[in-house]
Amino acid sequence: MENELVTLYRPVGPKELKLIEDSGWKRFPKRLMEQPIFYPVMNEEYAIQIARDWNVPASGSGYVTKFELTADYLKKYKIQNVGGPVHDELWVPAEDLEEFNDHIVGDIVVTKSFYAE
């Protein structure tokens, strides 16, 4: 079905979350020079692991964001498994991120928040 939507997740720290908010909850920020790939993940469980276990120790808080794109657009990116059964993600080259953002349907939504104790 050409208009079928796929839900993706992106774990972020507070700086990236602020930039998403500044976009009106519509876009992910440009990658830094040392970040050639944008990694949205395929399920919330994996996003929670990253937000809780990596973002919180690195920056004091971590957030899980959820967003949708059309399945037709996402066909150009192969799902990559980087560990266990839940560790599926897409590898979006940094130079594709503007176009990727243009294909987000609706808002980017925060589904979970984690904080240092």
Residue 11 is which amino acid?
A: P
Can you read off the two tokens belonging to residue 115?
């904080």
0.85 surpassed by pTM:
yes
Is 115 in contact with 59 (CB distance < 8 Å)? Answer: no
Q: How far apart are CA 19 and CA 85, in angstroms?
A: 31
Separation between Cα atoms, residue 107 and residue 1, nearest integer Å: 22
Calpha distance 65→44 (Å, rounded): 9
pLDDT at position 20 is 99
In tens, the pLDDT along 8-23 reads: 999 999 999 999 999 9
Give pLDDT tens digits for 76-116.
999 999 999 999 999 999 999 999 999 999 999 999 999 99
User: Interior CA angle at 107 toward 106 and 113, to 5°?
Assistant: 145
Instruction: Please tell me the predicted confidence (pLDDT) of residue 23.
Output: 98
Can you tell me the distance from the alpha carbon of 63 to that of 59, in angstroms, rounded to the nearest whole number? 11
Query: Which pLDDT tens digit goes with each residue over 40-78?
Result: 999 999 999 999 999 999 999 999 999 999 999 999 999
Whether pLDDT at 32 is above 90: no
